[in-house]
Chains A and B, each alone.
Chain A
Amino acid sequence: MKVLSFQQLPYRHLPNDFASKYDSIVTTPYFDLVDPKLMHQDHNHFLDEMLHAARCGFDGVGTTEHGQASYDILPNPNMQMAALAYATQSEGLTTALACLGRALGKTREPLRIAEEYSVIDQISGGRMIAGFPISLSWDSNLNAGIAPIDTRPRFAENIALIDKAMKSKESFAWNGRFNKYSNVNIWPRPVQPSMPVWSPAVGNPNTLAGILDRDQVFLYFSWFGPKLTGRVFDRYWDMAEERGRDRNPYRLAFLQCVAVAETDEEAHRVYGPHVKAAFNTGLGSIPMSSLSIPGYMDINGVEHVVKDPGDFGMFPIMRTASYEQIVDAQACIVGGVDTVAEQLIELVKERRIGNLLLMVQHGSMPTELTKQNISLLAEKVMPRLRAAWQDAGFADENWEHKWWPTGLPK
């Protein structure tokens, strides 16, 4: 199996009363909340920590894209990915670079994303994993001004254009609804003939169908509490069979928040306040109504969600959730090495996870504690995960990982 270290880039110094006064997206007042020296520091700590994870032996490092947000200040994560591509290359590290990714329902410049991914693939010698989310409603609609009902059609056109732009041997013209180009011929093309694509989704059947039909990896972010949303994976594997795909665990990437220490007691003590702040002030401070602005979700999808909002897990209470609620729902696994390893192994086996992303920094967590979390995960948890993968029999089934970077041509 593959184990990746994942981070968002929150501002780590929000006031204690943030969740009761502000939203974490769109309207968050920058100058009232930010100390420029600390913002500068957070950006560099983020890169330090990602590089630390690469040095510790994680198979990959990953990020997401969000604009106008205090909980994930990565309006273009390719900038950080380019820095990490060069830093890892210069140290001879073979870490995969997972940009998860660039929001294609949001962008008006899909070719620029194709070019940027290609540049990172060149700098890194073919270590890029391309993430293509549709994008969250508030980001594409409120931040970028895309009409909600155009979000998915824009995604569909953009992903087709990027795929063709990366792979086409010849230049071509593109006459789409959202993009019109007389001559598409991006320079550079990626190193990899077919860059692996991982597509984040929350479990909407229409989105899962598209991911399976395009033969991509389904990337699930378990922030809503995997204990509450397990049915998404039954749905996914059932749909895979229905659509003629195999049950290859590498088709699934699963992100899990983790915070590990030597003992449970120590873990709760040192990480607890940061984990609680992360959920309350980050995802929890996103207004529910901005996740699905009218038109963003298909009419049948709205009816389904109104009947059964279970896929959203604990999201509706996340702004005021207690630390115990967060841990009980497994939105973050916090504990000693044994506790963390055992809970992760159970998830891997139950859900058939071939790619496990461990989110290692939470809210206000300072850099030394983040690096400690990363080190302990690499030293003591990762070996047990790999052993469990063997025990589960997945290794014996000899699944081919068709969605992992291939590196430079041999």
Chain B
Amino acid sequence: MSNTTNTTGPQRDKLVSVWNDQIKMRVRIAGNGPPLVYFHPAAGLYWDAFVDGLARDYTVYAPELPGTTPGDAYAIYKVDEYSDLILIYEEVLRKLGLKGAVAVGQSMGGMIACDLAAAYPDLFSKLVCLAPSGLWRDDAPPAVAELYSSAPEKIPSFVFHDPSLPGAQAMFALPENPAEIPKAIAQNVWTLGCAGKWMWPFPEHGLRGRLYRITAPTLVLWGKQDRLMPAALAGEFEAGIGNCQVKLFDDCGHVLQIEKLDQALADVRGFLG
């Protein structure tokens, strides 16, 4: 997504060579405090006010899913399996020396953070998941396929309870220069396509059976009106993770860090101490 809000944004990038040097993973970085790893959602790394807010207290490291970094679209073809993806992220964090960092993940990023925390219980000191994907319930099915096959104009109301919010409008804004629009749209579509490798037709890779391995204290935040990842799934995380607290927001859709920016930041700060 194009970033047109008044955010500071990333301050520097680091390319980390992983997967036997087949992938150069771009990690966007901002801030100066203790390390915090931010795992972006399927729509790609959108440096919003929430991430900016995290960077006021922490050094935020935000790795980009292979294939979603502009100019390196085909890196996605180097990753065959979801289990390989988890190894790749672990390698990035290890090479950056981020063991013991705080992890914050949104939607798909929440699923990846959970799987890393389950596979490597000592990797994160604390874990925050914002409407994470990864679980399925027959009576609360994630609507990923519906989102992906929706007409573009329907997507804002799919992921926001109130799509008229300035933050919501900004997230979907296209470049002002018309000549740049096709490339921007292609990048957005491709980013979803790359994430679709793990999200399609719905993101369920057996995480439920691995949740018990997560030992890091965990906070799960969710919007009650989330149409993409139903809030009923929050209780499944709470039940599966040993040390997990859940908070639900009223009048809030999937992108809670924009829709409830202040509350979300306050809750995360409170939890992280």
Chain A interface (Cβ < 8 Å from any Cβ of B): 138, 141-142, 145-150, 153, 177, 287-290, 293-297, 299-300, 302-304, 306-307
Contacts and interface: CB of A to CB of B under 8 A. Distances in A.
B196 A294 contact: yes
A289 B200 contact: no
A141 B200 contact: yes
B73 A299 contact: yes
B83 to A, nearest CB: 14
> What secondary structure prevails in chain A residues at the interface with B?
helix
A146 to B, nearest CB: 8
A145 B200 contact: yes
26 contacts: A138-B149, A141-B149, A141-B200, A145-B201, A147-B196, A148-B200, A149-B196, A287-B149, A287-B151, A289-B149, A289-B151, A293-B149, A293-B196, A294-B190, A294-B191, A294-B193, A295-B192, A295-B194, A295-B200, A299-B187, A299-B190, A299-B193, A300-B186, A302-B190, A303-B182, A303-B186
Nearest to B193: A295
Contacts of A149: 76, 193-194, 196-197
B151 A148 contact: no
Contacts of B73: 299
Contacts of B151: 287-289
Contact of A307 (B80, B182, B197): B182
Contacts of B186: 299-300, 302-303, 306
Given A147-B196, A148-B200, A149-B197, A306 B182 contact: yes
Contact of A295 (B80, B150, B183, B197): B197
Contacts of B77: 153
A306 B181 contact: yes
Contacts of B232: none
Contacts of B15: none
Contacts of A138: 149
Nearest to B196: A295
B185 A306 contact: yes
Contacts of B181: 306
B243 to A, nearest CB: 33
A145 B183 CA distance: 28
Given A299-B73, A302-B186, 9 more contacts: A149-B194, A288-B151, A289-B149, A293-B148, A295-B190, A297-B189, A303-B182, A303-B183, A306-B186
